[in-house]
Amino acid sequence: MIVMKFGGTSIGDAAAIRRTISIISKKMRSKPVIVLSACANVTNLLHQTVEYTEQGDKEKSEEIITSLRDRHKNIVDELALGIAAKRPTPDTTDINNIIDKYCNSLWTLSKAHLGGQIPDADKAYMLSMGEYLSSNIVCFMMNALGIKTSLVDARHFMITTPDYMCATANTPEVAKRANSIIEKAFKIADVVITQGFVGVTMEGDPTIMGRGSSDYSASLLGMVLDADRIEIWTDVDGICTADPSIVPEAKGIGKLSYEEAAELARFGAKVLHPLSIEPAATKNIPLYVLNSMNPEAEGTVVLGGSCIFDGVKSISYNENIRVINIYSPKMINTTGFLTKIFSAFEKHGVSVDMISTSEASVSVTVDASASIDPVTAELKRYGNITVDRDKSQVSIIGKNIIGVKGAVAAVFDAVSDSKIYMMSQGSSFLNLSIVVDRPEMVSVIRKLHKTFFENGD
């Protein structure tokens, strides 16, 4: 069995869906389990619908829902036309009814909560609509093409914690359910499709697992099904030496260790969700990152680390972060100071990324979207607090980079014109991160890329 996940751009329109179906049809002998995201940008539009609903803007909410209905129906029409050239025209009544059903329930919920706070479970349900629409369309079209395909609702097996917007899987419960459900589906089909991103609590309430989490759904499913491989199909030639949208010269990396890929994802590389590596690594399942626009490209394989060489593999970033500095002479020679500081972050649910300490001060970075006012108010009890806004974190990632001669010096050389607000070395020697002014981020990334990957020219 193999698990193949297709992201938004791989199913963004009729042409992309056709390419994706052709990729799947070449893997029929491997029992493919397909995990789908929403079509490109649909989850963003659903977020906007949720916001307009809470703001009481009925017109805007309705406008988006109508556009979603039209877009999905247009995809169906275009796909059906393509099929009609070679086979009998498929009857699209059923799939159009399904699209109407999901869009109507979105509209019903939007009207019911207009101008008020939407309960988390309803919000999760609304935000997961994109995955239900895309998976139904792809399943319908594959069957219309004569590929026996079964759709399994991920909420029949993806049991999660009740953190509705950012849930994590309850792995033993997922394992208990997924195997029999998927095996049963293969009894009547050659391909099984399910939704990424969505989950359900033990009590049956809908959840989602956070933005970009279809990668995590796929890896987890691969793990519980003991898949031979997990394939993450996206819009770039694998994991690259930097984000190709920032560094056009970035190249695909052939091989990475689980540890390196996890560190890259944790430190901002959007190509993989931060939780997506661990499940694959637990069972030592190779995880491939491949390009659905260029299926012939080799892509990246992420696997156990023994065959991985030391050195810098990639540059990642978080574009909009804040640095919180806590200065307190009381810290010198006292114990328990750091515990108090980190409990304040924990208490207010703010997650800390980078940490750097000196004898009398601690600096941490947090994502700019975090609500830090309650934390800084509490931290004032312990010392003088300053917050640096509009900063970016840039990291070089790779196995044993600190041990690689000249790597640290090369970083300083590359950023010698920029002010560095903070620097931190990951405890596992896998990353070296710096914080710079946000307007400088792109040039810092490009300079680092030149230094490490463009042979010094």
Residues that bind Mg ion (CB under 5 A): 7, 212
37 binds ligand ASP (CB under 6 A): yes
Query: What is the rounded CA–CA span in Å between residue 102 and residue 126?
Result: 9
- Which residue's C-beta sits nearest to ligand ADP? 7
Task: Judge whether 284 and 229 are in contact, CB under 8 Å.
Answer: no
Per-residue contact track with ligand ADP, 188 to 207, x per CB under 6 A?
--------------------
235 binds ligand ADP (CB under 6 A): yes
Least separation in angstroms between CB 40 and ligand ASP: 9
- Nearer residue to ligand ASP within complex by CB, 273 or 399: 273
- Which residues 114-143 are close enough to bind ligand ASP by CB under 6 A? 130
271 binds ligand ADP (CB under 6 A): yes
* Residue 90 near which of ligand ASP, ligand ADP, Mg ion, none (CB within 5-8 Å, type-dependent): none
Per-residue contact track with ligand ADP, 288 to 327, x per CB under 6 A?
--------------------------x-------------
8 binds ligand ADP (CB under 6 A): yes
- Nearer residue to Mg ion within complex by CB, 7 or 252: 7
Least separation in angstroms between CB 217 and ligand ADP: 11
Render 218-276 in DSSP notation, one character per residue: HHHHHHHTT-SEEEEEESSSSSBSS-TTT-TT--B-SEEEHHHHHHHHHTT-TTS-TTS
Taking Cα atoms as reference points, which of 159, 167, 212 lies closest to residue 37?
212
239 binds ligand ADP (CB under 6 A): yes
Residues in contact with ligand ASP, counted by CB under 6 A, come to a total of: 12
Strands 287-291, 300-303: pairing kind: antiparallel
Q: Which residues pair with 73 in a beta bridge?
A: none
Q: Of the candidates 9, 149, 291, 356, which one interacts with ligand ADP according to CB under 6 A? A: 9
196 binds ligand ASP (CB under 6 A): yes
- DSSP letter assigned to residue 401: G
Any residues with CB less than 8 A from the CB of 380 and at least 6 apart, and which?
Answer: none
Taking Cα atoms as reference points, which of 322, 455, 331 lies closest to residue 384?
331
Here the tokens at position 202 are: 């033990």
Per-residue contact track with ligand ADP, 437 to 456, x per CB under 6 A?
--------------------
Q: Of the candidates 194, 213, 316, 318, which one interacts with ligand ASP according to CB under 6 A? A: 213
Least separation in angstroms between CB 239 and ligand ASP: 16
Question: DSSP 3-state assignment of 119?
Answer: coil
| 23 φ, ψ (degrees, to nearest 5) | -65, -45
Query: What is the rounded CA–CA span in Å between residue 419 and residue 401?
Result: 22
Segment contacting ligand ASP (CB under 6 A): 163-171, 207-215, 240-248, 257-265?
207-215
Beta-carbon count within 10 A of 317 CB? 23
Query: What is the rounded CA–CA span in Å between residue 34 and residue 193?
Result: 5
Q: Please state whether 115 falls in left (phi above 0), alpha (psi between -120 and 50) or beta.
A: left
Query: What is the rounded CA–CA span in Å between residue 36 and residue 69?
Result: 18
Summarize as ranges the residues that interact with ligand ADP (CB under 6 A).
Answer: 7-10, 37, 212, 234-236, 239-240, 242-245, 269-271, 314
Summarize as ranges the residues that interact with ligand ASP (CB under 6 A).
Answer: 7-8, 37-38, 43, 130, 196-197, 211-214
